[in-house]
Structure 1
């Protein structure tokens, strides 16, 4: 029995990056031997065991063969005869197909170390094209390592393009797709993930609503970058630069989908794109079964982001309606995330990345004013039920009018 550290732990050590998760492969062992040493079995599809002390996962070396569609369409074979090289060749990228023994001796049959040095994301074997999930994974790695100068090898991009055209991507489950998408959006350069998906034709399959934004112009006076797709990538980039949470990044990706529906004869204006985009945002939300908080914020940002940009011009009554829509009294964090999504949208414009966004503090102040209206005095006046709600609304409107006047003076 020989035990090797494999995959990301080897890759990241060689890159000088922190190693978080460690994958172990056991060569030359049987299930019975693992059980005899106290390992606990956890794998349903293939033999994976938990270490009796550390709890880390140890997998028996295995080979795999395509047997159906999608990510799960494989049959696995694990036995003591499977070599380390045979186990490594089934992996996605050469930089993930290296192994180390306990003395840090490197096994690198597919030249992963060379590709690390040359900053190339290259597939290990033609079997890469059998697993559609790898399209998303490679795009995610491109986003993760973009700052180090990594690029997808042309021949690997071609395989990704073939996979995108094959219909295999449609076989991915919503859960598996969302896991990759959400992880990719939380990388330092999530816009690279979207760009790589577009480069290989996968974006058109997975998110045609986002893909449709590219080539759609916007008024140059407000959007010097002009192209709606480029703008979306820039907004996503800003959300990462400002360390925003997943909810905000998801909303930034989907906020302008309505512009993809504007007839060409109306370009570059996009009248009512906020409302038109809601059905598209809803469709993307449902396709990937995004978490509820991501879904809600994406819809709200899509509908109201131009309200955010025009916050200083809004009537007090419109401002109150906006606050009510977000339920700022019970869900203050959601409104804060809306504000920063609007700010990322404003910053995601060529040459305007550093421009101040006074609307943010103005909206925060308005929310504080509305929340500050006390209920107790109204109860003491005898208001209750629907009348109490109307009275509270009147008092909040009065307070917002005063706030608006003081802000203008």
Structure 2
């Protein structure tokens, strides 16, 4: 039995990056031998085991053969006769097909170290095109390593296009797709992930509602980048630069889907795109099986981001309705995420990335003002039921009127409102 460190741990050590987890491959052993040593199987039909003490994954060296559609359409062969090189050749990218032995010696049959030095994401073999999930994985690696100057090899991008055109992407389960999409959105350059999928034709298959935004113009006066797809990419980049959580990034990806439904004869205006966008946002949420918090925030940002941009112009009654929609009394964090998404939207415009967004502070202050209104004095007056609700609403509205007067006064030069 010989054990080798493989994959990401080897790659990231050579890149001098933090190593989050270590995977191992076992050559010259059988499943029975690992079980006898206390290893725990991950699944009944897959040769991967957890170390009895460290919990790290140990996989038997194996080969794979395409036997059906999709990510799971493979049969594998694991036996003591499978060599390390054979196991490495089944992997996706050359930079992921390296191994180290116990003495730290590098085994690199696919020239992964050279591609690391030259900053190429390159497939190992034509078998790459047999697994549709690899399109998403490569796009995710591009998003992770773009700050280091990595780019996808032309021949690999060609295979990704081939996979996108084959219809194989439709065989991916929502769970597998979401796992890759959500991880990619949290990489340093999530915009590179979406652009890569768009460039190879995969975005049209996986997220056609987002793909439809490319080539759709917006008014240049408010959106110097003009193209709606480019705007969404810029918003995602702002999300990464400001370390926004996944729910905010997901909402920002989907916030302008309504603009993809605007008839061409109405361009570059997009009247009522917020309301029009709710149906495609729901469709994407459902198809991707996004977590509930991501789904809820995406719908709220899609419907109300224009309100966020016009916050300083809103009447107190409209502002109160907005705060009520977000339930700022019991779910303050969701409103904070809404504010963050609005700010990323405003900053995701060409040349305006550093412009202040005073709406953020104003909205936070408004939420604090209504939360400061207590119900106890109304209860002491004997109010209850509908009368109590109406009185509480009046008190909150009065608090917002006072807040607006104190916060804004009579500004001589009101801040610029980013148009949706």
TM surpasses 0.5: yes
- Superposition map of 1:6-405 within 5 A: 6-405=6-405
TM-score of the aligned structures, taking structure 1 as reference length: 0.99
**How far apart, in 2, do the equivalents of 1:210 and 1:52 lie?**
45
Q: What per-residue deviation string (whole Å, max 9, x for no partner) do you get for residues 237-270 of structure 1?
A: 0011000000000011000010011111111110
**How far apart, in 2, do the equivalents of 1:360 and 1:246 lie?**
19
Which ranges in structure 2 are unaligned for 5 or more consecutive residues? 410-420
| Contact 1:46–1:78 (CA under 8 A) maintained in structure 2 | no
**How far apart, in 1, do the equivalents of 2:99 and 2:272 lie?**
55
Secondary structure class of the residue paired with 1:175: helix
Residue 31 of structure 1 and its aligned partner are, at CA, apart by 1.6
Residue 50 of structure 1 and its aligned partner are, at CA, apart by 1.8
Residue 197 of structure 1 and its aligned partner are, at CA, apart by 0.3
| Contact 1:143–1:187 (CA under 8 A) maintained in structure 2 | yes
Residue 30 of structure 1 and its aligned partner are, at CA, apart by 1.1
1:4 corresponds in structure 2 to 4
Residue 32 of structure 1 and its aligned partner are, at CA, apart by 2.0
**How far apart, in 2, do the equivalents of 1:191 and 1:356 lie?**
22
Q: What per-residue deviation string (whole Å, max 9, x for no partner) do you get for residues 313-372 of structure 1?
A: 000000000000000000000000000100000000000000000000000000000111
**How far apart, in 2, do the equivalents of 1:365 and 1:52 lie?**
53
**How far apart, in 1, do the equivalents of 2:251 and 2:43 lie?**
36
| Superposition CA RMSD, Å | 0.8
**How far apart, in 2, do the equivalents of 1:343 and 1:88 lie?**
45
**How far apart, in 2, do the equivalents of 1:356 and 1:19 lie?**
37
**How far apart, in 1, do the equivalents of 2:316 and 2:180 lie?**
42
Paired residues, what number? Answer: 409
**How far apart, in 2, do the equivalents of 1:306 and 1:35 lie?**
59
**How far apart, in 1, do the equivalents of 2:123 and 2:227 lie?**
32
**How far apart, in 2, do the equivalents of 1:361 and 1:337 lie?**
13
Residue 379 of structure 1 and its aligned partner are, at CA, apart by 0.5
Range 134-143 or range 36-45, more displaced? 36-45
Which ranges in structure 1 are unaligned for 5 or more consecutive residues? none
Secondary structure class of the residue paired with 2:65: strand
**How far apart, in 1, do the equivalents of 2:164 and 2:44 lie?**
29
2:414 corresponds in structure 1 to none
